[in-house]
Amino acid sequence: EKTIAVLTSGGDAPGMNAAIRAVVRAGIFKGFRVLGVRRGYNGLIKGDLVEMNLRSVSGIIHRGGTVLYTARSPEFNTEAGMQKAIQVCRAHNILGVVVIGGDGSFRGARDLSERGYNCVGIPGTIDNDIACSDYTIGFDTAMNTAMEAVDRLRDTSQSHDRCSVVEVMGRRAGWLALRCGIAVGATSILVPEAPFDLQKDVIDRMVENQRAGKQHFVVVVAEGVGNVSEIAKEIQTRTGIESRATVLGHIQRGGSPTVTDRVVASQMGYHAVELLSKGIGNRVVAMKADKVVDYNISEALQMKKPFDFNLYQIAHDISI
């Protein structure tokens, strides 16, 4: 029987379940047997597979996380690990795998495709840092979660005339910080993509704002930029404004996906199966100008996503 498999890999993201559901339903619709692989590539190595039917993905479209579990798998990056995974694919007649995850997961999908197993990647990460795609599943939900959390922080920092220094996720990417920062009216937004000077870009702006009558502040910092406790301490020392640091952390990865994440995940899942049903692999599904398209994985991995400096400038200009 023609069989395809689906797995989630790397950090989970809200909307991954909607993507799994779309893959399973579209796969069965197109006449495939669909296997779910548990815990990412580790499950492919161990043969931890479950047969999916139309009902195994009922009642999950609105749930965060991933029902297939996820993992980062160092073993899959070794030739021995890859060979074990290939054995499992062969034993179960798997001719293609849909991999929902980020860049690291796509490298595995490319390597497996090059060994004759068609893989299609679907961008699933709250970081929005997949170069070939305008959008990644989970980004919208994470932004809204972060925004709501900072709104709460603002209530208390406003009541105390304080500065709230908030770390949002993104070790290497400032997309979440930028959009969340604009949405909460942050005085300063610090991201790994844009070099900054704490004195000029944060302290001086706060002092200037204070002169104009502002008494409470929000500074949004992407995880990759540095330690928010130290930044808060520095701000307090140099401005005299009482400051508190908050790390939002994994709160941002959970929760029920937004409409955007559910719909994009459904579209991308469907598209991935269409590719596999045409015998096409080694592709990443992407969103470009509101259209679902796909790219060769190696080419996709080499692309660079230019940071939205225009939006960054707008944020800067209207936060004073």
C-beta atoms surrounding 122 within 10 Å = 34
* Contact flag: residue 223 with ligand F6P (CB under 6 A): yes
Which of 8, 125, 141, 164 is close enough to bind ligand F6P by CB under 6 A? 125
Q: Report helix, strand and coil shares of the chain as percent, to nearest 5.
A: 50, 20, 35
Would you say 117 or 135 has its CB closer to ligand F6P? Answer: 135
Of 12, 111, 127, 129, the catalytic one is 127
**What minimum distance in Å lies between the beta carbon of 165 and ligand F6P?**
18
Binding mask 7-36 for ligand F6P (x = CB under 6 A): ----x-------------------------
H or E segment and range at residue 67: none
**What minimum distance in Å lies between the beta carbon of 10 and ligand F6P?**
7
Look-up: residue for tokens 């994994």?
250
Would you say 9 or 113 has its CB closer to ligand F6P? Answer: 9
* Contact flag: residue 169 with ligand F6P (CB under 6 A): yes
The answer to whether 11 and 52 are in contact (CB under 8 A) is no
DSSP codes joined into one string, 142-184: HHHHHHHHHHHHHHHHHHTT-EEEEEES-SS--HHHHHHHHHT
* Contact flag: residue 74 with ligand F6P (CB under 6 A): no
* Contact flag: residue 170 with ligand F6P (CB under 6 A): yes
Q: What angle do CA 184, 249, 263 make, to 5 degrees?
A: 70
Q: Is 102 annotated as a binding residue?
A: yes
Catalytic (active site) residue 127? yes
Bridge partners, residue 188, by sequence: 219
* Contact flag: residue 126 with ligand F6P (CB under 6 A): yes
Closest CA to 238 of 210, 212, 279: 210
Give the pair of three-digit tokens for residue 54: 């139309």
Binding segment toward ligand F6P, per CB under 6 A, in 20-28, 46-54, 164-172, 183-191: 164-172
Closest CA to 63 of 265, 285, 249: 265
**What does the binding site for ligand F6P look like in residue numbers (CB under 6 A)?**
11, 102, 125-127, 169-171, 223, 253
* Known binding-site positions for substrate: 125-127, 162, 169-171, 223, 244, 250-253
Report, as residue numbers or ranges, the catalytic residues: 127
